[in-house]
A and B are shown apart, each in its own frame.
Chain A
């Protein structure tokens, strides 16, 4: 067996997560043969650090010079769409970080324009819908594999939840899921122009993806076709803009959100009448809070992705545990804490990478694929329309006909 040759596009945070995933796989299954990034020096430094044979300053260059089977797109959100098209045209399999795509303003808009305040969400949705059509066409006609890097779909506790749901066999009536923490550090997350949205986009896309996927599986199992989202109601807010909050002397949650929400809730109704309550916030203290709960007719299941009590610790003072890692975004190491034994594993990072590589070897599509990525993007922007216009949005005209 020839190992799958991976070309890594991007050399930032998520590239680091992915490389760790590839490195956990046996060497005969895959090999990261090249990395590209801007500036070239950053790519070279990343290559040196992770022992990658070749580094390039652009995707064009990498495609021209390196022999790769698949591209791993670990680049900023607004580059997903153009890079997917380029990769598909070059006949490469694609592994793309979420979101599939989004609205980031017209290409000629100034970098600091607050498009979240000036462009209507309806216009954004129309743009995203067109973009999704283009991407589906490009990938379909190239006949390549497409992996949508939604790690929640691969998180061990969510996978176990799905297995229990299958064993119980009952109807998934209601889902409740959330991703929250005290706010992204990255500047790009504060502005629509670079992030494509606020808490719902950056965090909510995870629980939303998992909810849509769970109903897809249920439908495929019971009726031979996915149960798809039918309507969405959404509310968003900017809780760090509250007057009494602004007056506080010290802030423990991140601030400086410019034209994106720092809290949101999306209520999705599915075709069969079942529902999902999906929440996301950048104002939650106590570390990353990621959970997924499913209420079946004959069982109730909860996946505590983070925190969970697989390890519980207590310290009378914050310095007791020294440099030992506790868990993402926890403000203090004092008091009771829930240290993550292996955060990447709990969140499904190595598992998503392993599935993508297996899919290529086995000539099948990955478990988390294009259809999911597309629905998440469309439902999210439809949710933004709902919040902006203060009304329920029907999804059938947006999602179109059932695939397959």
Chain B
């Protein structure tokens, strides 16, 4: 029987998820309803995508429609309450990253610069409480939780994992990064709406892939995931540099209010292995996503973007007209690395396939709740490290959340 999906949200992420779910075919999955805060917009989305029913809230959708799984494609700050509500209703959950974050106390004004005023240690404390609450609700209900971290499913990363399995060596070191020239959206510029800067918005992807890779290695080796042990982090605001501000023309996005536009963290795992993860909103040349694994007997690199599956050159910016090249590239002139199929390359259809099958088969997906929780906690612990200028021990943090 097909898994029945209820979409929660009708924004950009919903647009990504619909084609990936549809690709699985009606016998594997069916989008039966969509809901959102505006019933009108939910109805418009339903009409546009041929979804049978539309609702003005998740509660309404869950009581009136037969839904097996809710797909949460809503802003990050409502993830936690919706996850808990869905679990309590006995529904499986697909949740976009992040699981949760710190967005200020509910009564903080929308323009409060909480990134500058709230200590990161307090943020971590709040996030811990939310993670524990979600964990408790999901466990009590016995539902499947799927964490929509597409990097885990990107074909180049999946191939990296298979090569690592074939080689069998110890993963000693991992290096990963997601960077580009900056998010255009105003919500990304402020902690109150974004829950952090480059590390949260971009770094969450490589952090997710890195944590999953070591979990996977541990399970393969001893049946038990290898978890992170400590984090050291540095963040910066490179677009606040005096000389940069004075430049007449900016190719990078600016106006970051209380969030970092660059960060790097060094993670040390229980087994002594390490990961270096960087994220930046100050990188020209298009989206730069990669993960490199240094094993004791092999070295493997996944170039998600750019890679040279297709290489092009044009003497002039206009030559390729409207044909898409790749995300956030500033010019179509010169040498470029056009993405043949960006969604596939980034693992969007693959993640949905694993989620729907996991729910149908009653098994854990590859990107599970432990991953979702560890990513969130590692990110906020990294912020504590950067703010306090010290290494942060992750073991007590991860233990408390479990």
Contact = CB atoms under 8 A, between A and B. Distances in A.
Interface of A: 170-171, 173-174, 176, 222, 233-235, 237-245, 248, 250-253, 263, 265, 267, 269, 272-275, 277, 279, 281, 283-286, 295-300, 390-392
A235 B274 contact: yes
B284 A295 contact: yes
A171 B280 contact: no
Interface string B247-272: 10111100000000010101010011
Contacts of A248: 169-170, 296-297
Interface in B237-253: 237-244, 247, 249-252
B68 interface: no
14 contacts: A171-B244, A235-B266, A237-B272, A242-B170, A242-B272, A244-B170, A273-B241, A281-B294, A285-B294, A285-B295, A296-B284, A297-B282, A390-B390, A392-B390
**Interface-central residue, B221, B243, B285, B295, by most chain A CB under 10 Å:** B243
Given A244-B221, A269-B234, A239 B247 contact: no
B173 interface: yes
A253 B298 CA distance: 10
Given A272-B243, A392-B390, A243 B271 contact: yes
A403 B271 CA distance: 45
Nearest to B288: A300
B338 to A, nearest CB: 18
Nearest to B280: A174
Contacts of A263: 172-173, 274
Interface string B274-286: 1010101011110
B284 A233 contact: no
A238 B272 contact: yes
B75 interface: no
A172 to B, nearest CB: 9
A391 B390 contact: yes
B16 to A, nearest CB: 28
A241 B282 CA distance: 36
Given A244-B170, A390-B390, A391-B391, A265 B294 contact: no
Contacts of B237: 273
A283 B294 contact: yes
B126 interface: no
Contact of B278 (A176, A243, A299, A391): A176
B299 interface: yes
B297 to A, nearest CB: 5
**Interface-central residue, A173, A243, A263, A296, by most chain B CB under 10 Å:** A173
Contacts of B172: 239-240, 242, 245, 263, 283
Nearest to B282: A173
B253 to A, nearest CB: 12
Contacts of B266: 235, 265
Interface in B181-223: 221
A245 B170 contact: yes
A262 to B, nearest CB: 9
B12 to A, nearest CB: 27
Contacts of A235: 232, 266, 268, 274, 391
A283 B299 CA distance: 10
A56 B195 CA distance: 67
B173 A239 contact: yes
Contacts of A284: 173, 294, 299
Nearest to A252: B297
A269 B236 contact: yes
A238 B172 CA distance: 9
A202 B237 CA distance: 31
A180 to B, nearest CB: 8
Contacts of A252: 296-297
Contact of A390 (B251, B295, B391): B391
B389 interface: yes
B248 to A, nearest CB: 10
Interface in B346-402: 389-391
